[in-house]
Structure 1
Amino acid sequence: MTSRIATVAIDALDVPRLAEFWMAVLGWRILEDDGEVLTIGPPDGTWPTIDLVRIGDLEAKTTKNRLHLDLRADGSTQALEVERVLALGARHADVGQGPDVSWVVLADPEGNEFCILSRSVQEAARPGT
């Protein structure tokens, strides 16, 4: 028996703002909001979901994430997806990546880093790619 990722939790100062950003990026919707935790997920009810957890100012992000999301542009190019996500409120982030990497590092409106890949890990693992 193994484990499966059910939910990724993201601490947030402004939960509604961050929820709107991630819903626009991923095409997801609100599944539940109990006032402290707002859960978003795919419209078809599949997993994983994202829990946006309200935190206080003293718990605000101050360092590089130790865990981040890697996103793949489905039905688009990496460049177009980066442009789209920047227009939604992301910004470029420098986490020490060199100039020769194939991914683009961005940060959400609260500074949480994530990457947009040039191709999926699955594609890179296939023979002949």
Structure 2
Amino acid sequence: MTLNWKLVVDSRNAPVLADFWAAALGYVTEDPTALIEQLLAAGHLPEAAVTEHGGHKIFRGFAGIRHPDDPFDAASGVGKGRRLLFQDVPEEKTTKNRLHLDVHSEGNRDALVARLEQLGATRVQEHDQGPAGHWWVLRDPEGNEFCVA
């Protein structure tokens, strides 16, 4: 049996956070414009449920990103492989994440950390465990912790 999955991340501004993670991971922002136009034309979606971001129509409060090499549904723009979905929630983030991403670089870790900072990440703490590992804890623009090894 094959299972499909996506990681869903609560956010305050889903499209902006999706843009950060798409740039950070080299992913593609999903474009649901065709699906939204079909739903609007059929009267199955109110105009208030739609907004625009990056030249695309998106569902208000949601934005997805996918790996550029993975398959996706052309009718909906939704990825069928490695995928993150950002959904707006009313409450702010208040504590440490219970789940986080580890971003691994095959090149220079310090250069990757600097690139992520330019995109809007913030350094939190460096961990050097000698032969056991060396990594940085960073926060994305909304304060979600992630590691760079």
Normalising by structure 2, we get a TM-score of 0.66
Per-residue deviation, 1:4? 4.8
CA RMSD of aligned residues (A): 2.0
Moved over 3 A (4+): 97-101
Q: Which residue of 1 aligns with 2:134?
A: 102
Q: Helix, strand or coil for the counterpart of 1:103? A: strand
Map of 1:1-129 to 2, 5 A cutoff? Answer: 4=3, 6-31=5-30, 32=32, 33-45=58-70, 47-56=81-90, 59-74=91-106, 76-94=107-125, 99-100=128-129, 102-117=134-149
* Cα distance between partner residues in 1 of 2:95 and 2:5: 25
Unmatched segments (≥5 aa) in structure 2: 33-57, 72-80
Please say which of residues 42-51 and 76-85 is displaced more in the overlay. 42-51
- Is residue 68–residue 113 contact of structure 1 (8 Å, CA) maintained in 2? yes
Q: Which residue of 2 aligns with 1:123?
A: none
The structure number with the bigger radius of gyration is 2
Q: Which residue of 2 aligns with 1:127?
A: none
Q: Which amino acid aligns with 1:110?
A: E
1:97-123: CA deviation from partner (whole Å, max 9, x where unpaired): 755351110000000000011xxxxxx
Unmatched segments (≥5 aa) in structure 1: 118-129
Normalising by structure 1, we get a TM-score of 0.76
